[in-house]
Amino acid sequence: SSVLNTALRSTAAGVNQPEPISSPRAKLTIRQKQFWEDVETGISDIKRAYSCDSDLPRIEAFQEVAQWKTTAPQPQAELHDPCEEYIPGLTAKPYWESESDRSNFPWIDELEERSGVIIKEFFEVMERENKERQEKLEKERQLKAMYDIPSDSRDSSLFSSDSAWQNDVMGAGWSAVRLQRLGEWNAENCARFPNTYEVIRSLDIPLAVRGVCFARQTPGSGVFPHSDGRNFILTSHLGIKIPEGPGVSMKVGSETRQWLEGKVLTLDTSFVHSTKNDSPEDRYVLIIDFWHPELTEIERKCLEFVYDLRNKFERGDVPVRPLRKTYEDDPGKTEGKGLAGLWQAVTTKNK
């Protein structure tokens, strides 16, 4: 369509953007088609709520790209690796650290000013819960010794509770305690860190779908090079406890940076990135994902709706219904990755 072509060509000359193609690169299942029909309805409702009579070309392009109706998104810079969940025309660079960059994020200065509150609470919670854990383990040890019960070596520490987020990319040395994930606050963890929760909520950060978490990197470990794919989300790391030395660092694209305690480092994780901790101590940061500053308010609302709907599909909250449209192709037999595939055709549980 002319709207899609306008959106996909709205960037600087010479930068390759996805192009419409005559037939999709993959087929959608019936359930996936239902999802995208519901997306279209929801976005129409959002436009009415905003009294928006004009097109939203970048959101329309997002839908086309995610349904494989275009060529695949191409890198916009060295080691940029975007996925099919893509908004055309956004600035892509590994780090957002200049004064002009920081002007896009007025909340960062206050977050750094109030970082002492977060760091103090973090270590108070760590100390308290480690003490409680040790007392519990000692009682269990005494009972097991008394009744000759085999020992259980499973880790019950604060960070072990989020081990499901670890995978082959993040590695065994990386773990997290999530305060928010996929737009939903974790009530239990927010109650454990009430001051941190209040600071984040008070700063009016345009939080994106991936979430907020404390992340630990154990000694001698690292996150392998990978891309998170989505080019419309940026990430800030607030240094909580950073061991000294050049062996504790993060590489985004071809550029390496080191964290500083109480300071924020902002990056674009649609670039290939990795971390390492070659020190003998744990490294801790607070990770905050937020919307790319070049998105408009209504574009953010549309993306929030898309990912909230995805959550509902994954949980099974949206019943199967007949399709509203007719389609030329037969229902797809296999699912792809990303929103087009809806993470296994939105039939699996949210992990």
- Rounded to the nearest integer, the mean pLDDT of the chain is 85
The band of 163, judged by pLDDT with boundaries at 50, 70 and 90, is: very low
Residue 330 is predicted with a pLDDT of 61
Which ranges of the chain would DSSP assign to H, the alpha helix?
A: 2-8, 30-49, 57-66, 99-102, 107-113, 115-147, 187-192, 194-202, 297-315, 338-345
**273-323 pLDDT tens trace:** 999 999 999 999 999 999 999 999 999 999 999 999 999 999 899 999 999
Residue 24 is predicted with a pLDDT of 85
DSSP reduced 3-state for 11 = coil
As a whole number, mean pLDDT of residues 138-144 equals 61
Distance CA 69, CA 147 (A): 64
Give CA 6 to chain center in angstroms: 28
Distance CA 44, CA 230 (A): 23
Nearest CA-CA partner of 192 in 289, 282, 123: 123
Check pLDDT > 50 for residue 195: yes
In a 13 Å sphere around the CA of 322, the CA atoms on its Cβ side amount to 3
Residue 145 is predicted with a pLDDT of 61
Check pLDDT > 80 for residue 52: yes
Residue 341 is predicted with a pLDDT of 54
Residue 240 is predicted with a pLDDT of 97
- Let me know: does 186 contact 178? Beta carbons within 8 Å: yes
Length of the chain in terms of residues written: 351
Residue 210 is predicted with a pLDDT of 79
Strand ranges of the sheet holding 273-277, from the earlier edge strand across to the other edge: 221-226, 273-277, 248-252, 255-257
As a whole number, mean pLDDT of residues 9-16 equals 48
Looking at the DSSP bridge assignments, the partners of residue 290 are 207, 234
Nearest CA-CA partner of 211 in 120, 348, 307: 307
CA 15 vs CA 4, 91, 95: distances in Å: 16, 11, 20
Nearest CA-CA partner of 24 in 73, 63, 70: 70
Residue 23 is predicted with a pLDDT of 85
Looking at the DSSP bridge assignments, the partners of residue 256 are 251
Q: Which of 115-129, 309-323, 326-340 shows the lowest per-residue confidence on average (mean pLDDT)?
A: 326-340
Residue 14 is predicted with a pLDDT of 40
Nearest CA-CA partner of 275 in 212, 216, 210: 216
DSSP conformational letter for 1 = -
DSSP conformational letter for 98 = S
Residue 346 is predicted with a pLDDT of 40
Nearest CA-CA partner of 235 in 199, 274, 266, 206: 266
DSSP reduced 3-state for 300 = helix
Residue 348 is predicted with a pLDDT of 35
In this prediction the pTM is: 0.84
Q: Which of 10-14, 231-235, 289-293 shows the lowest per-residue confidence on average (mean pLDDT)?
A: 10-14
Check pLDDT > 60 for residue 329: yes
- Let me know: does 306 contact 65? Beta carbons within 8 Å: no
Nearest CA-CA partner of 215 in 170, 175, 274: 175
Distance CA 62, CA 69 (A): 10
**54-102 pLDDT tens trace:** 999 999 999 999 999 999 999 999 999 999 999 999 999 999 998 888 8
Residue 139 is predicted with a pLDDT of 63
- Let me know: does 289 contact 212? Beta carbons within 8 Å: yes
Percent helix, strand and coil across the chain, each rounded to 5? 35, 20, 45
Nearest CA-CA partner of 124 in 196, 179, 178, 188: 196
Helix (H) or strand (E) segment spanning residue 234: strand 233-241
